[in-house]
């Protein structure tokens, strides 16, 4: 539901000239979907579409909005069908192309996602959100140069939607540490409670300006944190408040899924500490473990793969 409200998709308000009955159902579709009443929303959208009272433009918008609702239900097949219908009715509809791309992204069909984003951007070269979304797809394909270019394009078009954390991460994967540190500083300024942004700012700054300078900034960022859950243990480890053994002990969790995720993250962050100390030999097996065991879409898997590539390791 947060995806809909955050306007990664974004419902589109209909124009006024449509007949009242169809328009009323179309508006109720939006309202009920925003409340999380997806089945009721779909009923309203379907009635609006089948009413014969909507203009072509409003019918395309209603197909798009019903597609958003199917996405909320994680019914990706029907969501794509509705976006396709919206595009058939209105071929110059960039939002429908963008939304279809985002569903393909969730299906991990990154090539089709990029194709849809390409079409959205062709129709609207100032569509900042489509640039950001295409950047995410390029990231998952490990095409970090293209991802970074898209994130930066979005930031130039509309600074309000700039993804500084994504810019920082893609720059890190590419080995551009000074640029990564600058972007991560902006990410932390925008979201001071984002502990992962704090951690990655430290890593990029340590590699570009040295561990001592980075540790001072990390200490300043850590003081502002209100939560002390994971990955706070990583921050304490980098600040010298705990050792590697304590890091792994804290990573352990009775929840099996969380345990696996946190241990794989511990491998990556412990490996980074070894790299910063010059112990690349000790870092390599930990990086390999993180690359293998972390979810492929996780920043730690991306980071581990990038570090192994820099070390000319598999």
Could you tell me the pTM of the whole model?
Answer: 0.90
The reply to whether 293 falls in a domain is no
- The confidence score (pLDDT) of residue 11 equals 52
Residues of the chain with pLDDT under 70: 1-21
Angle, CA of 138, 257 and 99, to the nearest 5°: 35
Looking at 91, 124, 149, the residue that finishes a domain is 91
Where in the sequence is the domain holding 168, given as residue range(s)?
Answer: 163-227
Please state, in angstroms and as integers, the Cα–Cα distance from residue 1 to each residue in 34, 35, 37, 113, following that order: 7, 9, 10, 21
Please state, in angstroms and as integers, the Cα–Cα distance from residue 283 to each residue in 67, 187, 252, 256, following that order: 46, 27, 20, 25
The reply to whether 108 falls in a domain is no
- The confidence score (pLDDT) of residue 22 equals 80
The reply to whether 32 falls in a domain is yes
Cβ count within 10 A of residue 39:
10
The whole-angstrom separation of Cα 194 and Cα 203 is: 15
Do 87 and 7 share a domain, yes or no?
A: yes
Looking at 76, 91, 106, the residue that finishes a domain is 91
Looking at 91, 120, 155, the residue that finishes a domain is 91
The reply to whether 290 falls in a domain is no
Q: How many domains does the chain have?
A: 2
CATH code of the domain containing 197: 1.25.40
CATH code of the domain containing 81: 1.25.40.10
- The confidence score (pLDDT) of residue 314 equals 82
């Amino acid at each position: 539901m947060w995806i809909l409200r955050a306007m990664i998709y974004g419902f589109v308000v209909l124009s006024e000239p449509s007949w009242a009955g169809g328009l009323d159902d179309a508006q109720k579709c939006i309202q009920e979907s925003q409340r999380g009443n997806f089945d009721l929303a779909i009923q309203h959208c379907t009635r609006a579409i089948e009413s014969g009272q909507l203009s072509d433009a409003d019918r395309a918008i209603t197909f798009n909005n019903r597609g958003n609702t199917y996405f909320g239900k994680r019914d990706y097949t029907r969501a794509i069908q509705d976006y396709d219908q919206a595009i058939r009715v209105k071929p110059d509809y960039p939002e429908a192309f963008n939304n279809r791309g985002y569903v393909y992204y969730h299906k991990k069909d990154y090539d089709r996602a990029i194709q849809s984003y390409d079409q959205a951007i062709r129709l609207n070269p100032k569509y900042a959100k489509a640039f950001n979304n295409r950047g995410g797809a390029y990231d998952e394909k490990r095409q970090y140069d293209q991802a970074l270019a898209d994130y930066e394009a979005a930031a130039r078009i509309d600074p309000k939607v700039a993804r500084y954390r994504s810019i920082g991460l893609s720059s890190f994967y590419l080995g551009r540490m000074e640029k990564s540190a600058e972007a991560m500083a902006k990410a932390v300024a925008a979201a001071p409670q984002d502990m992962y942004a704090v951690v990655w700012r430290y890593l990029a700054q340590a590699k570009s300006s040295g561990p001592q300078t980075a540790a001072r900034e990390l200490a300043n960022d850590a003081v502002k944190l209100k939560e002390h859950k994971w990955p706070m243990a990583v921050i304490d480890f980098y600040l010298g408040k705990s050792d590697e053994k304590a890091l792994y002990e804290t990573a352990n969790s009775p929840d099996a899924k969380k345990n696996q995720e946190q241990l794989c993250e511990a491998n990556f962050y412990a490996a980074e500490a070894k790299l910063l100390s010059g112990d690349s030999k000790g870092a390599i097996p930990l990086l390999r473990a993180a690359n293998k065991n972390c979810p492929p879409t996780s920043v730690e898997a991306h980071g581990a793969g990038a570090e192994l590539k820099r070390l000319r390791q598999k």
